[in-house]
Amino acid sequence: METEIETKIKQTELIKKEDKASEPLPIKGHILDDKLEKESELAGVLCKGVQYYDFRNIPFISNTGLASLIKILKASLKQGIKLKFVNVNKRIKQKIQTMGLDKFINCS
Amino acid sequence: MNKEFYFSKYEDRIPYKPIPDNKYRTLLFQFCGILTIALGFSYLNWRWKFSFNYDVLWFSLLLVTAETLSFISTILIVVNFWSNKDAEINEPVHYLSEIEELQGRSDRPLKIDVFIATYNEEVELVRLSIIDAKKILYPYPDVYVNVYVLDDGRRDGRNPASENMKKVAEEEGVKYLIREHNEGYKAGNLKNALEHTNGDLFAILDADTRAFQNFLVNTTGYFRRNKVAWVQTPQWFYDTTEAEKMSDIINTKFKIKNINVKKTIEFVFGKIKVNEDIYGNDPRLFYDAILRKRNFHNAAFCCGAASIHRREAIMSLAVKDFSEEIKKLEEDLVSQNKSKIEIQEKTNQLILDQEVIPFKFHASEDIYTSIMLHADKENRWESIQHPDIECKMLSTQDLSSWIKQHQRYAEGSLDIALKDNPLFKNGLSLGQKICYFNTIWSYFAPLWILIFLVCPIIFFFTLKLPVKAYSFDFFKYFIPFQVMNTLTITLGCWGISTKRGDQYYISSFWFMLMSLLSVIRGKKIEFNVTRKDLHTSNSLKHVLPHITIIALIVLGIIYNAFLILIGHHPTPSGFAANAFWCIFNIISLSIMIRAAFWKPIKTQNSI
């Protein structure tokens, strides 16, 4: 759809690339914040069956953003891939916890 | 685009102004309300203790039970109408920071989406709504107002036999969204829209909802209060039937051509006007009194069309619901001592199956979602019923559509009552519980209405009274209660005509009863898109119960009058009281019979 944002995943400095870079998981809808929306980019990499996403530059997550994370979670589960969000700030972690998503959204 | 619709002649109709608030009237209402409740208790106390006719105890019990159930309604209405608290109207919002805490984000102008939900409505009718939506004004040029047509009918040109909604959207320069299924009906359609858009606020319009230019200017300011989740504006049906002169009806019906006879008819009946809003569609009583006064309890619920929502609020509900479902499953599995691997597998499966649903997939998605948002203990979301009309809409144009629409409302609300009763819902305040329960309780009304309609008939044919006697004692308790009750309702609905609403409240008893039985039997509620075009349907079948009751009343009155004439009637006073009550019943029931046979005047090119 015209309004969808296809988020590309790029290799981060943080995570050593061991696996072949995965095909990007599509993230639809506006996620996280406007900065990301403009750049249409969320850093991430597939490493030993775990898909990492780097939240280093993400200061805030909206509820729509959380819904998008659930979508990513579903997509990764479908592909048998584990999901991990790294460099997640305190505020976002707290929000994930408050919304009861901490049990299945793995972040550090 | 130049198509003439049946409602084209009503385009210049001007909406009503909301009733101005008056604190003295509110105080008087509160005084009368308390007195009504006190007198009601006193009357029912007397009825239960001293008024039974033990010869026909079942009859006495039947009537007093109906009166008691009806009295519960009175109490609920007094609470609902207790006070008026219109929210302060603020300037329209410019920046995101005015409605949300930025929490590290940079500020930016607000983004607003306007959704026009459609399924099978004629595309030219939807075009009118699109044109008006495009004309919506906003004072800040950097605030983008995006209009989306959400077409659940998938009329994107793939089927040459159907109209092309996509083409109309493109012609009008608005965005067009579809999905490949109809899961969740309108709620599903909105879910899809929210997944593909990014407005901080979004307005919901139906296919026939024509927004006025200041729709957003007058409503977005409420969101400066960062707990306001949605604002509902009144739904104003600008196409309700016009009053007809009785003399015109007689002349047409009897095909009178003689000028002198016509003049005589005009002289006698010319000033009598009937059939105004024959289908009882005018919802003013609901929006300007019932829902508006719920602002006091923060219990005004969303009615779908003509509402504006905070995306964050509705999405928080969606995400929470998702996580709670998973949590519930996990707890169930743990309590069943399932292995860790099994729990993980089943949880993963549920994550895959479970959807993030903003508006509840339910026949009454609006009220159900409102209940859930109001019950959110962490966020304490607020709702606002905006008093002024900001949109115009079309009403049902035949009895069958009216019945289908109202049965869906009833079945949806009753279903909520049975499955997730707001009275026992954690997180709702007492006022909210009472207001939501009031809505649900009103759909139980056919139980006591049926008894009130049948009791006089039972009397006419058994000649037994449901009370000991229509004595001084009876009237001593009954009349003050009734007078005060009428006064209280008049004050509560001050300035609003309740005539048609009262008539339909009584005359819809049969369909509401069918809805009640349907929900109790667990029948699946069907989501019918309400027809808003002009058409005729066979409505005789809908009014057979009404005709039967009226026929029995007439027969009963003739029979009793005959007994009085020959001096064999045991209680002429009972006859007088019941006959008087029956006049009221007949007037109420007859509206639906009239509506069933009423035919609109067809204009050229009308649809």
Q: What is the DSSP string of B53-84?
A: -GGGHHHHHHHHHHHHHHHHHHHHHHHHTS--
Measured CA to CA in angstroms, residue B502 lies from B442, B506, B509, B606 at distances of: 13, 7, 12, 32
- Name which of B148, B154, B195, B202 to mutate to probe chain A: the one with the most chain A Cβ atoms within 10 A of its Cβ: B195
B178/A contact by beta carbon, under 8 A: no
Place of tokens 């039972």: B458
- Chain A interface with B: residues with Cβ < 8 Å: 1-4, 28-30, 33-35, 37, 59-60, 62-64, 66-67, 70-71, 73-74, 77-78, 91, 98-101, 103-104
User: Can you tell me the distance from the alpha carbon of B440 to that of B125, in angstroms, rounded to the nearest whole number?
Assistant: 33
Measured CA to CA in angstroms, residue B544 lies from B456, B538, B547, B591 at distances of: 19, 12, 5, 13
Residues in contact with B463: Cβ distance below 8 Å, sequence separation at least 6, in sequence order = B560, B563, B569, B570, B571, B574
Domain total of chain B: 2
- Tens of pLDDT along B530-547? 666 666 666 788 899 999
Same domain, B180 and B261: no
CATH number for position B102: 3.90.550.10
B328/A contact by beta carbon, under 8 A: no
Q: Which chain A residues touch B330 with a CB distance below 8 Å?
A: 103
Domains and CATH numbers, chain A: 8-98 (3.30.750)
User: Can you tell me the distance from the alpha carbon of B226 to that of A16, in angstroms, rounded to the nearest whole number?
Assistant: 43
Same domain, B297 and B173: yes
- 3-state SS class at A85: strand
Same domain, B119 and B182: yes
- Do B318 and A34 make contact, defined as CB atoms within 8 angstroms? no
User: Where is B585: in which H helix or E strand?
Assistant: helix B572-597
- Taking a C-beta distance cutoff of 8 angstroms, is the pair B303, B295 a contact? no
pLDDT of residue B532: 63
Query: Among candidates B51, B164, B144, which has minimal Cα distance to B94?
Result: B144
Closest in B105, B318, B323 to A59, CB measured = B105
Same domain, B203 and B105: yes
For the record, the structure tokens of B373 come out as: 């948002």
The gap between the terminal CA atoms of chain A, to the nearest Å, is 32
- Taking a C-beta distance cutoff of 8 angstroms, is the pair B277, B500 a contact? yes
- Taking a C-beta distance cutoff of 8 angstroms, is the pair B520, B307 a contact? no
User: How would you classify the pairing of strands B228-232 and B307-310?
Assistant: antiparallel
Q: Which chain A residues touch B197 with a CB distance below 8 Å?
A: 3, 29-30
- 3-state SS class at B7: coil
- Taking a C-beta distance cutoff of 8 angstroms, is the pair B15, B389 a contact? yes
- Taking a C-beta distance cutoff of 8 angstroms, is the pair B239, B10 a contact? yes
- Taking a C-beta distance cutoff of 8 angstroms, is the pair B144, B111 a contact? yes
Residues in contact with B271: Cβ distance below 8 Å, sequence separation at least 6, in sequence order = none
Same domain, B190 and B292: yes
Closest in A59, A63, A77 to B104, CB measured = A59
pLDDT, averaged per 10 consecutive residues of chain B (607 residues), comes to 81 94 95 98 96 95 97 97 92 96 90 96 96 97 96 93 94 96 93 93 97 97 97 95 84 84 87 85 94 97 96 96 91 87 88 92 92 95 97 91 91 93 95 96 96 97 90 91 96 93 93 94 74 65 94 97 94 93 94 85 42
pLDDT of residue B605: 41
Residue B387 lies in a domain: yes
Same domain, B103 and B227: yes
pLDDT of residue A14: 31
Distance from CA of A27 to the nearest CA of B (A): 10
pLDDT, averaged per 10 consecutive residues of chain A (108 residues), comes to 33 34 40 42 72 84 90 86 88 92 86
Q: Which residue from A minimizes the CA distance to B319?
A: A67
pLDDT of residue A11: 32
Same domain, B142 and B177: yes
- Do B198 and A77 make contact, defined as CB atoms within 8 angstroms? no
Same domain, B114 and B150: yes
- Tens of pLDDT along B472-498? 888 999 999 999 999 999 999 999 998
Give me the domain span that covers residue B377. Answer: 96-239+282-322+352-391
- Tens of pLDDT along B6-24? 899 899 999 999 999 999 9
Residue B256 lies in a domain: yes
User: Can you tell me the distance from the alpha carbon of B32 to that of B19, in angstroms, rounded to the nearest whole number?
Assistant: 20
Residue B114 lies in a domain: yes
User: Can you tell me the distance from the alpha carbon of A65 to that of A71, in angstroms, rounded to the nearest whole number?
Assistant: 10
Distance from CA of B150 to the nearest CA of A (A): 13
Residue B260 lies in a domain: yes
Q: Which chain B residues touch A37 with a CB distance below 8 Å?
A: 198
Same domain, B172 and B302: yes
Final residue belonging to a domain, choices B372, B391, B410: B391
User: How would you classify the pairing of strands A41-47 and A50-54?
Assistant: antiparallel
